[in-house]
Amino acid sequence: MQIPLHIFILLTAYLLGSLPSAVWIGKFFYGIDVRHHGSGNAGATNTFRVLGKKAAIPVLFFDILKGWAAVKVSYFVADMLGREEFNSLELTLGAAAIIGHIYPIFAGFKGGKGVATLLGVTAAIHPLSALVGIGVFVFVLLITHYVSLSSILAGLSFPISILILFPSSSPTLILFSLLTPALLLVTHQKNIERLLKKEESRIYIFKKKVV
């Protein structure tokens, strides 16, 4: 694949990831920058904390969608690549979208933690693993009410899915699955510290309150 074309589609994936739905929805509909409140993150969880469900749901779906769409950019050059090259490109574009969400050029490089966008990337690349991750997330959230813990454990389920539940022969997919929980551990460092100190905020989705 030509280098200029490669750079163009990578940039496209990054820009898709950089679309700061939490910031834009907060500012446009509520006159609030969610990064100045709550945890300071531009993601669905902090949007829920600051603005409630009506704002958080579209943020969640949009952030998932942009991760999925970034991976699908690969289909514009699918005919030029072999199978493993194509898989590698999908994962590279997904990584670019996640980086865009965490460091969005459209929001001063201050974004979210990349969980929803990572889910969108996973759904585009390996839907069954994404479903397992969603199941783990929901189960842990309903029991503990900790979004951070739910996200981390859902991320840990990804390599288990790829290595054990749905064994893959793709080296790049295996590597990506192993890096996923590492990324979540890094982006959730402060949350882990608060969890250990029992100071992490809980979210009660159905009771409409945050403690």
Question: Under DSSP, is residue 86 helix (H, G, I), strand (E, B) or coil?
Answer: helix
Reported as a single tens digit per residue, the pLDDT across 170-181 is 899 999 999 999
**Are the C-beta atoms of 38 and 50 separated by less than 8 Å?**
yes
pLDDT tier at 2, thresholds 50, 70, 90:
confident
CA dist., res. 89 & res. 64, Å (int): 19
CA dist., res. 211 & res. 201, Å (int): 6
Chain centroid offset of residue 169 CA: 24
- The pLDDT of residue 1: 57
- The pLDDT of residue 116: 97
- Residues of the chain above pLDDT 90, percent: 85
Average pLDDT over residues 112-126: 96
What predicted TM-score, i.e. pTM, was given to this entire model?
0.92
- The pLDDT of residue 136: 98
- The pLDDT of residue 210: 46
DSSP one-letter string for 1-46: --HHHHHHHHHHHHHHHH--HHHHHIIIIIS--GGGSTT---SHHH
**Are the C-beta atoms of 55 and 29 separated by less than 8 Å?**
yes
- Residues of the chain above pLDDT 70, percent: 97
Token pair of 174 as six digits: 């295996």
Q: Which helix (H) or strand (E) holds 69?
A: helix 53-72
CA dist., res. 135 & res. 84, Å (int): 29
Q: In the chain, where are the structural domains located? A: 3-210
**209: pLDDT strictly greater than 60:** no
Reported as a single tens digit per residue, the pLDDT across 61-115 is 999 999 999 999 999 888 888 888 898 999 999 999 999 999 999 999 999 999 9
- For residues 85-110, b (16+ Cβ closer than 10 Å) or e, as one string? ebbbbbbbbbbbbbbbbbbbeebeee
CA dist., res. 17 & res. 32, Å (int): 21
